[in-house]
Structure 1
Amino acid sequence: MIILQLFKSIGAQKFKYPSQAVFTLDHDVQNKSEKNLAKYSSIERLANLHNVDFYPAGRGIGHQILIEEGYAFPYTLTVASDSHSNMYGGIGCLGTPIVRTDAAAIWATGKTWWQIPPVVKVELKGKLPDGVTGKDVIISLCGMFNKDEVLNCAIEFAGEGIRGLSLSERLAIANMTTEWGALAGVFPVDETTIMWLRNRVEKLELTRFENKNLKPISAGQPFKHPRINNERIDKIEKNPLRASSNAYYCKYLSLDLSTLSPCVSGPNSVKVSTPLVELEKQDIKIQKAYLVSCVNSRAEDLHSAAQVIKGKKIADGVEFYVAAASSEVQKDAEANGDWKVLIDAGAKILPAGCGPCIGLGVGLLKDGEVGISATNRNFKGRMGSPNALAYLASPAVVAASAVAGRIVSPAFLSTSSYTFPAHQTPIITCDINQSEQPIETSSIIEPTIPGFPGTIKGELIFCDADNLNTDGIYPGKYTYVDDLTLEQMAKVVMENYDPKFANIVSKGDILVGGFNFGCGSSREQAATAIKASGIALVIAGSFSETFKRNSINNALLCLEAPDLVRLLKNKYGSKELTTRTKLNTEVKIAEGKIVVKGLNEPKTVFKVGILGRSVQELWVANGLENWVKQSM
């Protein structure tokens, strides 16, 4: 709805390329209020007016629909205003997130900008042991390579281990490259990909009458899906894309899949992964279990959970929530009996769409509760109370835990057919390419354009937190309250990180965060809420590239100063969540340096990167929305 408002506010009268856009209603689908239904109706009317493909609430999660309907197709670029757009990489499509303002600009102009990131090659070797899944692969990668090895990079997956991964597993791995910190995670197109596409051609032939976006055909006319058809599949099969022999990668990572065992992520962090056998010993009781979201609620996932849970009942005191990734997935699960198995066991069924995973609807974690989920994100407060604990695991482990009432493997259930390998230390490698050095940008002076400040002054406000995610900055419960004013947004900024923040910060302050600032969800309000609180500039050791993009688009300036952050950590770390440092600072934009006054340290001047002309232009225009309006 916000994108629709942005589209109208920039003065756009029509879509530049209607076939380029797809509308899927997948957030807040449990909300049947008159206000929310009116919002959905407005979006549908806009789609009909401009001849844009539209999928109503209940059809499923947008990412799954884009895979099922071929909008995300091998060897193409697909963007979406959600951080898990990386998922499209599982089918060999370059998927990457944009933000709401970007989306409105694309509708109006047909164009967007994307800075090509460094590329990391991740080689998957060996074969997964029985009972170990793609979810275990990505949980392990996030936990073992947890020092920002892939932050703001694109990942190219390679290696013979890929052959043993189903397409659903590849989608799950690509999906959570977002949590790993990457901007994209792309798998090669191989026999598995081609076979899946061929099968989809047959499936779409049978279900074509259910899709109102497809043009009707005359009697006797053969059906040809506009995106997934044998002609397109033949083309990619005959003309495969391969990396150049001299392709440059900034890093090389490898993982031997045969050395993996089931892993669990958390609590409340994807950067902490623990072998399941170790957690079983801790007797961790749970109150809620979730088999929902775009990462792990496809037919293959529902089937693995049903295998574990068949003939059993959910433990007393445990609520087990299930939602299919799409209505098509649910129909398939109903047809093969898996859906009935889950219901008979006591699962609570939710509509296909985004719910507890993003803190919306029923079934959220309450104070003191522990949950285990097959979702992709377990940040503090993400799925409910900030005082709850959330773990991530594969669908089979989630199902087994729901039955046992504590975190266990399916093997714990005596009648389960699952066999799990003994835990062993995974074999990994990490090599940094030293053949090219990054350009030293701090020595370059960038002239400032008229209207852009050469120097920004303010007191440093320090938040000592690495990986401060957008849920911490702007809680999910406010994300779809579209009528919040900027003043109201300023009052809740950082609420999940530090409830006192809004009362500490003053207009003109310079906020300093830790490393990987703004990771997690791509929600644009994280940037706009910080700006609304009066913050003049954000400095961090490093940023999530998506957060930085949001900030640039909304005229909030961001600079990386890792040395300054380390110094402040040593001086103020662990004292308070938010500290007024009383350090008055000058940020000299054109010279690329920060001068800290009142700092009793040998070093008081810190180099930073320059802010180029495009960033300055967006700031002067007060954001991308106004810039597009002025350019039309």
Structure 2
Amino acid sequence: MTRPMTMAEKILAAHAGLDEVRAGQLVECDLDLVLANDITAPIAIDVFRELGAERVFDPDRVCLVPDHYAPNKDIKSAEQTKKMRDFAHEQHITHYWEQGCAGIEHALLPETGTVVPGDLVIGADSHTCTYGALGAFSTGVGSTDAGVGLATGRAWFKVPQTLRFEVEGELPEGATGKDVILHIIGMIGVDGALYQAMEFAGSAIEGLSMEGRMTMCNMAIEAGGKAGIIEADDVTRAWMRDRGERPSVEYHADPDAEYVHVYKIDAADIKPCVAWPHLPSNTHPVEESRHITIDQAVIGSCTNGRIEDMRAAAAVLRGRRVAEGVRCIVIPATQRVFKQCMHEGLADEFIDAGCVFSTPTCGPCLGGYMGILAAGERCVSTTNRNFVGRMGDVTSEVYLASPAVAAASAVAGHIALPSDLL
């Protein structure tokens, strides 16, 4: 009889061909997907070449997405993207999305059904942990590991310990998945889950949409987590119904699985909040942040650029104008979301409110382009990191928030709740 296991342990055991694994064990696993983008793929390709590999392990299991500096912002980024594009064509990569057909990788792969429940995924991008929302074990790796993965379809893992977060009850009005994960990061710190899986459960998590769950798992890395993961349920199955391109396997934690710690959180205690500079753990309720004036608002990214996020922002901006002296940049995460915004009239509402409405890109999140901050400027953003210089000058400041709060702040000219605008 096998020992009781967590979700993370079960997925790693299955992909290592073992009946059971335990935390701390080193295992070599078969990978379902290997992912890289226009920044990380060129280095991974160099590693692939250095290994003497001629063909990728499976052209159907490699995903290459131009999103960080795409559409290309300069000659160097154009060369980076070209290197990835040429490799994709040479290797007949099935999952290469050209600019104009793509979007931000961590929104694109779930949207297209490329990732399915039970998958083991490595990506040369730290927010690969997003796919845990589907019941997959997905984690970010360096470009060297990605290059080896391209060649072999395998990777070594140290089986992580698991922290379980049980969020029970009903979230207060205005609180979202973004607020839940910011609350948790504020509670345990940016190293509170260092190389540990973060397993999210409870009635409040079950009540979240798939978009809300993706936002939570996306930011597991901001607590140091190796992965964020949520059990597949009816919400997951409904999401996958017309999407999944491969059969999926659902893994559920055993009731007596061993956890490092089980956090029990009352959903009623979670308020709409903002992470002040310069750490995602520096969280404060919005109601205590109204004195902070802003120069810019960014609504988008792999964290909060999905259609639910666009609708939430548009609902606040509808019939209103962005405050004088404030720039509001709205970036749908994928071309599909961009198109939905047009069909639903959201694009008109953003533009009528005085926003910049952009084609999908990671752009401003990493200080790439499309919203760089000057010295001393402040931005409220739906992105995932607010480190020193993350979005521009080292003296600029980034405040992390939900789409509704970011939109309300753009209108108010300072950090605000939508109710403040009434």
Query: What is the TM-score with the length of structure 1 in the denominator?
Result: 0.58
User: What residue number does 1:43 align with?
Assistant: 84
Q: Deviations over 1:118-145 (max 9, x none)?
A: 1111111111122111111111111122
The AA in structure 2 aligned to 1:317 is: G
Asked if the contact 1:29/1:351 (under 8 Å) is kept, the reply is: no
User: What residue number does 1:55 align with?
Assistant: 97
Percent of residue pairs bearing the same amino acid type: 37
Q: Distance in 2 between matches of 1:147 and 1:362?
A: 27
Aligned residues: 379
Q: Distance in 2 between matches of 1:350 and 1:3?
A: 29
The AA in structure 2 aligned to 1:13 is: E
Matching residue within 81, 93, 99 for 2:124: 81
Matching residue within 84, 91, 110 for 2:134: 91
Asked if the contact 1:128/1:164 (under 8 Å) is kept, the reply is: no
Q: Distance in 2 between matches of 1:406 and 1:172?
A: 24
Structure 1 position 398 matched with structure 2 position 417: no
* Residue 278 to residue 28, structure 1, CA distance change in 2 (3 Å): same
Q: Distance in 1 between matches of 2:119 and 2:113?
A: 11
Structure 1 position 161 matched with structure 2 position 204: yes
* SS in structure 1 of the partner of residue 99 of structure 2: coil
User: What residue number does 2:394 align with?
Assistant: 386
User: What residue number does 1:193 align with?
Assistant: 236
The AA in structure 1 aligned to 2:182 is: I
| Alpha-carbon offset, residue 32 of structure 1 | 4.3
Q: Distance in 2 between matches of 1:259 and 1:41?
A: 49
* Residue 38 to residue 368, structure 1, CA distance change in 2 (3 Å): closer
Asked if the contact 1:152/1:183 (under 8 Å) is kept, the reply is: yes
The AA in structure 2 aligned to 1:401 is: S
Asked if the contact 1:64/1:294 (under 8 Å) is kept, the reply is: yes
Q: Distance in 1 between matches of 2:166 and 2:45?
A: 41
User: What residue number does 1:496 align with?
Assistant: none
* Residue 353 to residue 250, structure 1, CA distance change in 2 (3 Å): same
Matching residue within 223, 226, 249 for 2:245: 226
The AA in structure 1 aligned to 2:142 is: V
The AA in structure 2 aligned to 1:40 is: T
User: What residue number does 2:62 align with?
Assistant: 21
Q: Which moved more, 1:328-337 or 1:55-64?
A: 55-64
How does 1:239-318 map onto structure 2 within 5 Å? Answer: 240-280=250-290, 283-318=291-326
User: What residue number does 2:351 align with?
Assistant: 343
Matching residue within 216, 219, 225 for 1:176: 219
Q: Distance in 1 between matches of 2:285 and 2:77?
A: 42
Asked if the contact 1:376/1:392 (under 8 Å) is kept, the reply is: yes
Asked if the contact 2:300/2:306 (under 8 Å) is kept, the reply is: no
* Residue 342 to residue 125, structure 1, CA distance change in 2 (3 Å): same
* SS in structure 1 of the partner of residue 390 of structure 2: coil
Q: Distance in 2 between matches of 1:39 and 1:112?
A: 25
* SS in structure 2 of the partner of residue 320 of structure 1: strand
Asked if the contact 1:30/1:355 (under 8 Å) is kept, the reply is: no
Asked if the contact 1:30/1:361 (under 8 Å) is kept, the reply is: no
Q: Distance in 1 between matches of 2:150 and 2:285?
A: 46
How does 1:447-526 map onto structure 2 within 5 Å? Answer: none
| Alpha-carbon offset, residue 190 of structure 1 | 0.7
* SS in structure 1 of the partner of residue 198 of structure 2: strand
Q: Distance in 2 between matches of 1:51 and 1:80?
A: 19
* SS in structure 2 of the partner of residue 284 of structure 1: coil
Q: Distance in 2 between matches of 1:373 and 1:35?
A: 27
* SS in structure 2 of the partner of residue 144 of structure 1: helix
User: What residue number does 2:335 align with?
Assistant: 327
The AA in structure 2 aligned to 1:260 is: I
Q: Which runs of 5+ in 1 are unaligned?
A: 202-224, 415-632
Structure 1 position 116 matched with structure 2 position 135: no
Asked if the contact 2:190/2:222 (under 8 Å) is kept, the reply is: no
Matching residue within 37, 60, 71 for 2:114: 71
Q: Distance in 2 between matches of 1:11 and 1:191?
A: 45
* SS in structure 2 of the partner of residue 391 of structure 1: strand
| Alpha-carbon offset, residue 30 of structure 1 | 4.1
The AA in structure 1 aligned to 2:354 is: G
Q: Deviations over 1:359-406 (max 9, x none)?
A: 101321111111100111001111111101110110000001001111
Q: Distance in 2 between matches of 1:380 and 1:276?
A: 21
The AA in structure 1 aligned to 2:263 is: L
* SS in structure 1 of the partner of residue 302 of structure 2: coil
| Alpha-carbon offset, residue 161 of structure 1 | 2.0
* SS in structure 2 of the partner of residue 127 of structure 1: coil
Q: Distance in 1 between matches of 2:72 and 2:85?
A: 17
The CA RMSD over aligned residues, in Å, is 1.6
User: What residue number does 1:612 align with?
Assistant: none
How does 1:527-546 map onto structure 2 within 5 Å? Answer: none
Asked if the contact 2:116/2:240 (under 8 Å) is kept, the reply is: no
The AA in structure 2 aligned to 1:351 is: T
| Alpha-carbon offset, residue 10 of structure 1 | 2.6
Q: Deviations over 1:517-540 (max 9, x none)?
A: xxxxxxxxxxxxxxxxxxxxxxxx
| Alpha-carbon offset, residue 306 of structure 1 | 0.2
Q: Distance in 2 between matches of 1:321 and 1:245?
A: 45
* SS in structure 1 of the partner of residue 361 of structure 2: coil
Q: Which runs of 5+ in 2 are unaligned?
A: 1-41
User: What residue number does 1:541 align with?
Assistant: none
User: What residue number does 1:352 align with?
Assistant: 360
Q: Distance in 1 between matches of 2:153 and 2:165?
A: 33
Asked if the contact 1:367/1:387 (under 8 Å) is kept, the reply is: yes
Asked if the contact 1:71/1:78 (under 8 Å) is kept, the reply is: no
* Residue 318 to residue 103, structure 1, CA distance change in 2 (3 Å): same
The AA in structure 2 aligned to 1:193 is: T
Q: Distance in 2 between matches of 1:195 and 1:242?
A: 18
Matching residue within 343, 364, 382 for 2:372: 364
| Alpha-carbon offset, residue 248 of structure 1 | 0.8
Asked if the contact 2:106/2:302 (under 8 Å) is kept, the reply is: yes
| Alpha-carbon offset, residue 79 of structure 1 | 1.3
The AA in structure 1 aligned to 2:281 is: K
Query: What is the TM-score with the length of structure 2 in the denominator?
Result: 0.86
Q: Distance in 1 between matches of 2:418 and 2:352?
A: 18
Q: Distance in 1 between matches of 2:397 and 2:261?
A: 34
User: What residue number does 2:149 align with?
Assistant: 106
User: What residue number does 1:152 align with?
Assistant: 195
| Alpha-carbon offset, residue 34 of structure 1 | 4.4
Q: Deviations over 1:138-176 (max 9, x none)?
A: 111111222733222101112222221111000000001
| Alpha-carbon offset, residue 35 of structure 1 | 4.5
Q: Deviations over 1:234-276 (max 9, x none)?
A: xx5xxx4322233111111121112221111012211111011
Please say which structure displays the higher CA radius of gyration: 1
The AA in structure 2 aligned to 1:386 is: V
